[in-house]
Structure 1
Amino acid sequence: MGTWMKIVKRLLLLFLLLLLISLGYFGFKIRQNVQQVMTYEDEVEQAVKENNIPEYKNLVLAIIYTESKGRTEDLMQSSESAYGERHMIGTTKESIDNGVAFLAQSIDQANEAGCDIWTAVQAYNFGLDYIQFVKERGGKNSIHLAEKYSKEVLSPLLGNTEQKTYRYNRPQALLYNGGFLYSNGGNMFYADLVRMNEQFIKWLK
């Protein structure tokens, strides 16, 4: 019995050591990503002022973290909202200018509809029609509403009429549904991801 307990204790210690190493590694990577995103702080600050949403600077930085971690030319993945198709943006400034302008439009429409800020953020991923969808269902974004829109509106609209899914192994998804998204249905966890990344920005910038 004594030998067995020693083995169990060693295994537990090994597990805890691996857990600490993993947490340390992920913490280091998150800090690296935040530092990379913060290299665009001045450009973001200018863009939010020009679009009359200066209080949302950290939110924009969190969207950059979510979309690209600051490592592509199209930092905010704003090509589709600006041009209707991907890979049309060639500079980081153009991406920020277009992305912030679209976010400001989304925030304005969400405010007019009496919806919360996270509806506007989710609409950055889903498109502005999502705002009316949330307005008609209480005015507050939730993963449940985002899933309903993704499954029943957006993915069928974009050709996924059979509710096909694909693996998505982020913690939010794993906890909510075992880790999947609907094909052509955007990312129903988008607002939650941005909210989490905004905290990283606030803590580590």
Structure 2
Amino acid sequence: MTTLKPPVTFHHNTHAHLLPQIHQIHRDCILQDHQVLAFLPNENGTIDEADLAAYWEDQCQPRTAPAYRELLLQLGDDEQEVLGFVVLDMPYAETGPFRGFVQKLMVSIHHRRKGVARNLLKHVRKVAQEHGRTLLMLDTPVGLPAEQSGIFEKAGYIEVGVIPNFSISPKDGTLIAEKFFYKDLRSTKGFCNGHAQNGHIYGQHS
């Protein structure tokens, strides 16, 4: 098993040069794995670089309190190669300041089966707890590797149910179902009135 460093939070000043790698991982996950990740292949059978650049420029824009979004990167030993990433979205809601959405979990095709996704899910929990986000939600298409591997169940997520005909498949344009999960990190110890007692204030789709 490869020993992985702790994932890091994307900061534009430090990590902007890694964006082309993020674009390529996103493209590969759609074109090679047929994952449902915002885009469909164009008439040339690819994903336009300008579209990916605009998409990730928006995703990487910093949010200010009380809403947050963090792009977590799993980097290689030299910290110049992106092995995978995940987005933790923490929108503002007075009725649910404890909710977080785990989204866009992607792993480079060159670094599969090395524990990258597992490490990212472990770290996203830590980051979420630091922000007081103790109810995590994610979803994933039915029948694709992420769902079939059981990685989310192994990470402690509980299946809620399946919505049929939820997304258009980038493989053949058919409608495919989506499976939804949640993970509740709250407990009587260390959590009170929506905030962690130790002063620290953890969604997957499209």
Q: Establish whether TM, by shorter chain, passes 0.5.
A: no
Compare the two structures and name the one with the higher helix fraction: 1
Q: Which has the higher strand share?
A: 2
Normalised TM-score (structure 2): 0.30
